Structure 1
Amino acid sequence: MDEQEQVLFSYWDTFESLIASGSGPVQAVAPTKLTWVAHDVGFEGASLNVALVPSRHEIRVELFMDGDHAHALFDRLHRQRDEIETQIGSTLIWEQKVGVRRRKTYVKNDGLDLNATSNWRNQHSWIADMLNRFHITFNPLLSRIDLTSLQKGDR
């Protein structure tokens, strides 16, 4: 691993240890050397991701939707935007790029500094809190959706 990959692996290893020791619904996963990590949300074609965007100093916690039903799933959830944002306690960014199959909705924090290891604890606490809020909000909503009721490629 190069130096950046080592930093990312250490960042995720420390974060996943926090998740493993917590009492929230999100289960820890293996650390990675990538700028993102995915956690299960209990629905095919969707995951709870944490993404780091170092060039913008952003940390994102997102519901990531991909696959044949991503558009229809996104649209169905977007119709419940007010309820979802109220439950999470934050305004979300609802991203649907033209010509791209995947969709996501996320919240971001502009406090990312991978080199400031003394601030990782604050960053990880924020991520864990938001990740658990996302799971608590989206898991029940998604569990009530019948995948066959969503139209493939539907908008």
Structure 2
Amino acid sequence: MFKIDPQSNRISRIETKRFSELGFRERDHLQEWLANQPDALGEELLIIQKEFDGFDDTRERLDLLAIDKEGNLVVIENKLDDTGRDVIWQALKYASYCSNLTKSQIIEIYQSYLDRYCNGGDARTFLCEFFEVPDLSEMVFNSGTNQRLMLVAANFRKEVTSTALWLLNHGIQIQCFKVTPYAMNVDLFLNVEQIIPTPEAKELMIGMSAKEAEEKSTVVELKSRHKIRTAFWGQTLEAMRNSRCDLFNNINPSKDHWLSAGSGVRSCPYTLIFGVKEVRVQIEMTRADTEENKFLFDSLHGQKDKIEQSFGAELQWFRLDSKKASRVQYRKEFEGHNKDNWPEMIAWLVENVTKLELAFKQPLIEINTKLKTLNLASEEEV
């Protein structure tokens, strides 16, 4: 590997190193790097435990346990300068142990990880955010024999790569990543390269496994949920049309768990939420510019008492500092998929979205006008 110097139009060699000569250790360094930057392995993964030893009748520990966007468990085994001969056998054992983990056990494992290494947090909430679902009943975790293996090392022995390719051809999801440290003066670099399967081969394999993916119970479950949501929104929109609320007059039923209508202010929709355990009405600030969203939210929050008095109840205000959007919501718990509850749920949604619009309409217009003025002033300064 070389560093390019555009000014001199020359290249300088970046020296290949061994982890051992740099003083790096497997557990203290390589494992920590991947735990804190799992997308270095080429995809979005959520680390749910490290040094996991929750296996009955064994003292063995797997290096990192992760979950992918499909809900599959991923066993990550790290070696430094050499894989050794037994790394695949080791990883296969761990995958077999993990194959029996239930959804509730996975949540408990992740909660333990958060409590021990991340200063706490709610595992269910973080998992919902990772999977972008309103609740975890939408997800199937650790389905069947879909556990995945990732092997990470600086050098792979032939017996390891040969076995990995054989397993890959027999439907075992295994990947090998070669990690190489480099040095140039005092600067250190790390290259992470997937060598099995090659990216080109992986693309070809996606089509081969598509049929199996379609057969997953998650897909069947989601199709059922989509039918339920479409039916619920159909009844809700019919009730809206027979009410004094005209926000949703031009909106069609959806398979999603949410339904939005414009407020008259750009990217600040009124949204209805239909969940398994609750329904919500909310107003969202979802502009492309974070500062504009926070300005809208803060300005509305400055009129919190007046708005809540108009609405007739205390609202929940979520500025969401770590995210681009913000929202204000009002919720009530229901067993959402029990159709006997639908008339009461729909009446609640109609009543409260009507009240929400009345409470926010004028403040929102005034604040939006002020925001436009501020933006215009900023443009003039430029």
Same fold (TM over 0.5): yes
Q: Which runs of 5+ in 1 are unaligned?
A: none
Task: Please list the CA deviations of residues 99-146 of structure 1 after superposition, one character each: whole Å capped at 9, or x if unmatched.
Answer: 2010000001012422x2122010000000000001111112212231
Q: Does 1:130 align with 2:343?
A: no
Q: 46, 49, 63: which one pairs with 2:283?
A: 63
Q: Distance in 2 between matches of 1:41 and 1:79?
A: 19
Report the residue type matching 2:226 in the other structure. E
Q: 204, 226, 229: which one pairs with 1:8?
A: 229
Q: 72, 82, 100: which one pairs with 2:295?
A: 72
Q: Distance in 1 between matches of 2:374 and 2:281?
A: 25
Report the residue type matching 2:232 in the other structure. Y
Q: Distance in 2 between matches of 1:65 and 1:36?
A: 15
Moved over 3 A (4+): none
Q: Which runs of 5+ in 2 are unaligned?
A: 1-221, 376-382
**Does the CA contact (< 8 Å) of 1:26 and 1:39 recur in 2?**
yes
Q: Does 1:95 align with 2:315?
A: no
Which structure 2 residues correspond to residues 6-155 of structure 1 after superposition, within 5 A? 6-28=227-249, 29-54=251-276, 57-67=277-287, 68=289, 69-114=292-337, 116-145=338-367, 146=369, 147-149=371-373
SS at 1:144 equivalent: helix
SS at 2:269 equivalent: strand
Tell me: CA distance 1:150–1:100, structure 2 relative to 1, closer, same or farther (3 Å): farther
What root-mean-square deviation, in Å, do the aligned CA atoms of Structure 1 and Structure 2 show? 1.5
Q: Distance in 2 between matches of 1:150 and 1:19?
A: 36
**Does the CA contact (< 8 Å) of 1:59 and 1:112 recur in 2?**
no
**Does the CA contact (< 8 Å) of 2:275 and 2:336 recur in 1?**
no
Q: Distance in 2 between matches of 1:20 and 1:89?
A: 23
SS at 1:16 equivalent: helix
SS at 1:2 equivalent: helix
* Deviation for aligned residue 1:27: 3.0
* Deviation for aligned residue 1:62: 0.3
TM-score by length of 1: 0.89
**Does the CA contact (< 8 Å) of 1:45 and 1:70 recur in 2?**
no
* Deviation for aligned residue 1:12: 0.4
Q: Distance in 2 between matches of 1:121 and 1:98?
A: 36
Q: Distance in 2 between matches of 1:49 and 1:112?
A: 19
SS at 1:46 equivalent: coil
* Deviation for aligned residue 1:150: 5.1
Q: How many residues align?
A: 148
Q: Distance in 2 between matches of 1:18 and 1:130?
A: 13
**Does the CA contact (< 8 Å) of 1:5 and 1:34 recur in 2?**
yes
Report the residue type matching 1:80 in the other structure. Q
Of 138-147 and 11-20, deviating more is 138-147
* Deviation for aligned residue 1:98: 2.6
Report which of the two structures shows the higher radius of gyration computed on alpha carbons.
2
Q: Distance in 1 between matches of 2:356 and 2:374?
A: 22
Tell me: CA distance 1:105–1:150, structure 2 relative to 1, closer, same or farther (3 Å): farther
